[in-house]
Amino acid sequence: MAKILVVDDDELVRYSLARVLSSDGHEVIEAADGVTGLRKFRASRPELVVTDIVMPEQDGLGLLNELRRIDQKTPIMVISGGGEIAGTDFLLLAEKLGANDILAKPFDNSVLLGKVATLLAGNSGG
């Protein structure tokens, strides 16, 4: 189906996302931080990026900024277990910074796959 880059520092989260996405027929590339994520994005040009926010090296918001600088088309979904900066929720901030969709952890697989399908359809359609 589609090539999806999953960026999350938690190995178990990466593993589960990879399992769920590949069970739906997608090819999953994994990265454990923003820097690696950016490198893998350049190398493999995925059709969708799913990234966490709180990560070492470069966090998800930084990665989002970098990605938007080099590529405006590829849809990015930001996921997070919560947190805020100066009263603004990380996820809402990610949306303002140009994330195409956001998802709070934990989530039902059907919700994740639904969002992924919508983003991929939107991208191929437009």
Taking the complex as a whole, how short is the minimal distance between the CB of residue 74 and other proteins, in angstroms? Answer: 23
- Judged by beta carbon, residue 71 or residue 84, the one nearer other proteins is 84
If one asks whether residue 57 binds other proteins (CB under 8 A), the answer comes out as: no
x/- mask, other proteins, residues 61-80, rule CB under 8 A, reads -------------------x
For 2, 12, 25, 43, 50, the CA distances from 80, given in Å and listed in that order, are 22, 14, 24, 25, 10
The strand pair at 48-51 and 76-80 is best described as parallel
If one asks whether residue 108 binds other proteins (CB under 8 A), the answer comes out as: yes
For residue 102, the one-letter residue type is: I
User: How many residues of this chain interact with other proteins, rule: CB under 8 A?
Assistant: 24
Stretch that binds other proteins, among 8-16, 43-51, 67-75, 117-125 (CB under 8 A): 8-16
CA atoms within 13 A of residue 18's CA, in its CB half-sphere: 15
**Helix (H) and strand (E) counts in the chain:** 5, 7
Q: Which of residues 22-41 bind other proteins (CB under 8 A)?
A: 23
Give the DSSP per-residue string, 29-63: EEESSHHHHHHHHHHH--SEEEE-SS-SSS-HHHH
Indicate the SS3 state at residue 80. Answer: strand
Stretch that binds other proteins, among 12-20, 41-49, 61-69, 118-126 (CB under 8 A): 12-20
For binding to other proteins (CB under 8 A), which residues are involved? 10, 12-13, 15-17, 19-20, 23, 54, 80-84, 87, 104-110, 112
